[in-house]
A = this chain, B = another copy of it.
Amino acid sequence: MNCDFLTDTPGKLYKLAGRQVRTEGTKIDLGVARVGGDEFVVMAGPCAIESEEQLLATARFVHSHGAKVLRGGAFKPRTSPFSFQGLEEEGLKLLRKARQETGIPVVTEVMDTRQVELVHEYADILQVGSRSMQNFPLLKEVGKCRKPVLFKRGMAASIDEYLLAAEYILNGGNEQVILCERGIRTFETSTRNTLDLNAIPMLKRLSHLPVLIDPSHGTGYSWMVPAMARAAVAVGADGLLVEVHYKPDEALCDGVQSLSLDMFADLMQDLSRIAPAVERYIDLPVSV
């Protein structure tokens, strides 16, 4: 099943997601930026949308420091039913408001086939989270959409399962799939997950789809995020998904892994120094 460019690879040809389909790599146009090209694209924002003040303050800051997409969860998959479950449609409305004010496109998670239409109405990019990676009815549903899908790897999914799951979306006719490694589950307990950077060159070799990295979930600690984000640039990822909160200590969800605004500003400076060494660039606003 191998072809030349896959020599030495334990892989196989994926019918729709495979590199042989589009050898030069898929590029996804977001208007303000293109994912999969020379620009290293940063998507940033809070784990969960909590209030207008929180979302807007964060949105303004990350936008003015080089983020090209605002992330924020309205429907939250929480381990316990007794945890905060998100602001739901109210959160989506706040996302729309943030976009109107800043001009930045927004990405947010959809968990339920019945909500795809609703989320599609508000979001520029639909996120399918790691717990939904093999929610095949959901994948079929977002496959019918014509907006980009940020498709996160399951926390115990092999590369093979991941690419086959991506084929559910592609098979629906939606070609705008952005992969995202966000940490896998291993025996190591000192970090929340083990961010699998091996996956980047492997996914790049096997597939034509662009690949982001989420170091916030991948490590679980904000102090580790800058180091792993630098590694993400160097290893060849197409961008970053990162949690930023204007007051991490007061976050309703995942505060310990959220960057403060200042940490985010520093991070963007750091990354913009590394990108040229791997022939990428980060498009920082002039004023920064």
Is the pair A198, B189 in contact by a Cβ cutoff of 8 Å? no
The answer to whether residues A187 and B185 also contact, given A8-B221, A195-B197, A256-B8 and a CB cut-off of 8 A, is: yes
From the candidates B158, B171, B221, B235, name the one contacting A228 in the complex (CB within 8 A): B235
Interface presence of A200 (CB below 8 A): yes
Interface presence of A10 (CB below 8 A): yes
Interface presence of A113 (CB below 8 A): yes
Q: Which of A21-29, A59-67, A76-84, A97-105 contacts B (4 or more CB under 8 A)?
A: A76-84
Is the pair A78, B136 in contact by a Cβ cutoff of 8 Å? yes
Is the pair B197, A188 in contact by a Cβ cutoff of 8 Å? no
Chain B residue nearest in CB terms to A134: B131
A9 to chain B, nearest CB (A): 7
A179-197 interface bits toward B, Cβ cutoff 8 Å, 1 = contact, 0 = none: 0000011111111001111
Is the pair B201, A228 in contact by a Cβ cutoff of 8 Å? yes
Q: Which of A31-39, A42-50, A162-170 contacts B (4 or more CB under 8 A)?
A: A162-170
Q: Which of A118-126, A238-246, A260-268, A271-279 contacts B (4 or more CB under 8 A)?
A: A271-279
Is the pair A82, B15 in contact by a Cβ cutoff of 8 Å? yes
Complex: A248 Cα to B256 Cα, angstroms: 39
25 A–B contacts, CB within 8 A, in A order? A8-B222, A8-B223, A80-B164, A81-B140, A111-B135, A112-B113, A112-B138, A113-B113, A131-B136, A132-B135, A156-B156, A156-B187, A159-B188, A160-B190, A184-B187, A184-B194, A188-B198, A188-B199, A197-B197, A227-B235, A231-B234, A273-B277, A274-B274, A274-B278, A276-B277
Known contacts A112-B137, A188-B199, A230-B278; 12 further A-B pairs (Cβ under 8 A)? A77-B136, A81-B164, A82-B167, A131-B134, A158-B189, A187-B187, A194-B196, A227-B234, A230-B234, A231-B234, A231-B235, A276-B277
